[in-house]
Amino acid sequence: MEIRLNREQLLPVLSRVVGVVERRQTLPVLANVLVRAVDGGLSCVGTDLEVEVRGECRSEVEESGEVTVPARKLFDIVRNLPEGSMLRLKSTGDRCTISSGRGRYVLGTLSASDFPIMRQDEGCEEFTVEEGAFRRLLEKTWFCMAQQDVRYYLNGLLLEFESDCIRGVATDGHRLSRFDLRCEMEVGEGQRAVIVPFKTVTELRRQLSAVGTELKLAVGENSIRFENADFVTTSKLIDGRFPDYERVIAANHGRKAVLEKERLRGALIRASVLSNEKYRGVRMEFVGGTLRLQAHNPEQEEAVEEIDVSLVGEPVTLGFNVSYVLDVLGAIEGDEVEVDFEDGNSSSVWRGVGADNETFVVMPMRL
């Protein structure tokens, strides 16, 4: 295999692919990226056996072929070359030589036949959505996913496909996020729901842009594929039953408060400085037209802030993990925040005022 191309052609492809390559591998070939040169183009594939990313770019192919090269070494070499550099990649035997200007770098290779390629399920349902809109769905929900929880079905994002929307739901048992992306689709009989793993969601957030280009989704029984003009990501699905999140959201809420988002956010950040570093608790006392925030730590230090609030219902005091509330405020786009709650022992529902397609639930904590 021998190809010539510009650094700016290869670098974006490698940056997408290298993200799925784990630093510690059970198989040596999984530390490599599969490089294929054929028909005037170059494709690179990286995988960890759970998620696979393939990117393509144009190149001058002098000799077609395929080989696997150490992913991070190749990426670091290309990334640190000067802008506009021309590269020549040539593989011979068990070595691959990268030449650029007066530099020459020789890497060890492994056979392309040993590289595992993920199979796509047959009979997939296919959907098309705007890339920027789907990225917004991920940004609204990803932070509530669990990581390495024994309840494995929480370690991912639930996607529900209906005729008029794609719904994303994530929860770690302490908080929950739900967002409805309105779009017209043709869905088979009933509702289609799948759980996409945490790592796949993280990679998609990194790869997807905010522009309005087309993103194609192919949903199978065991896998899901995301494809646009620049990359193809294929991922296994989590086989499990997601919790009945509607019961949490539909809980009885007898009180409602409306606050200015940035004032609340600033007050929480300042108060959190003196919160317990382990539990990150902050007390929120709603009384009349005032919200009183209070935090303290084992050193007997204390922070108190008061901000204006519009409250419907009786006064109430709640305790929250301040990090959870700040994550929610970061996902809300409007200037005002609406909070529905019953008492200090019940869950609270947060959303931007007028933003009916987003819902965030935060469970209270005892202080």
179-238 pLDDT per residue, tens: 999 987 777 666 689 999 999 999 999 999 888 789 999 999 999 999 998 899 999 999
Whether residue 226 sits in one domain with residue 140: yes
Whether residue 351 sits in one domain with residue 287: yes
pLDDT tens digit sequence for 127-177: 999 999 999 999 999 999 999 999 999 999 999 999 889 999 999 999 999
Whether residue 353 sits in one domain with residue 257: yes
The domain boundary residue, chosen from 245, 278, 300: 245
In a domain, 120, yes or no: no
Which residue type does 296 have?
A: H
In a domain, 348, yes or no: yes
pLDDT score for 268: 96
Whether residue 78 sits in one domain with residue 144: no
Query: Which of these ranges, 21-25, 28-32, 210-214, 227-231, has the smallest mean pLDDT?
Result: 210-214
Question: How would you classify the pairing of strands 51-58 and 231-236?
Answer: antiparallel
Name, of 178-187, 249-258, 301-310, the range with top average pLDDT: 301-310
How many structural domains is the chain composed of?
A: 3
Whether residue 95 sits in one domain with residue 20: yes
Whether residue 173 sits in one domain with residue 85: no
Whether residue 92 sits in one domain with residue 131: no
Across 64-143, where does the E strand assignment appear? 65-70, 86-92, 95-100, 103-108, 125-130
Q: Which of 114, 250, 128 is nearest to 184 (CA)?
A: 128
User: Distances in Å between the alpha carbon of 253 and those of 202, 329, 350, 367?
Assistant: 33, 20, 12, 21
Whether residue 192 sits in one domain with residue 174: yes
Residue 70 pairs in a beta bridge with 32
Q: How far apart, in whole angstroms, are the C-alpha atoms of residue 106 and residue 98?
A: 6
The domain boundary residue, chosen from 191, 214, 245: 245
Whether 291 and 336 have beta carbons less than 8 Å apart is answered as no
Whether residue 138 sits in one domain with residue 105: no
The mean pLDDT of 312-329, rounded to a whole number, is 95
Three-class secondary structure of residue 118 per DSSP: coil
Whether residue 234 sits in one domain with residue 191: yes
Whether residue 261 sits in one domain with residue 229: no
Which CATH number do you get for residue 337?
3.10.150.10
In a domain, 195, yes or no: yes
The domain boundary residue, chosen from 189, 218, 245: 245
Q: Residues with Cβ < 8 Å from 97, sequence gap 6 or more?
A: 88, 89, 90, 91, 104, 105, 106, 107
- What is the residue range of 108's domain? 2-114
**Starting at the edge strand that comes first in sequence, how are the strands of the sheet with 302-308 ordered?**
302-308, 290-296, 281-287, 316-321
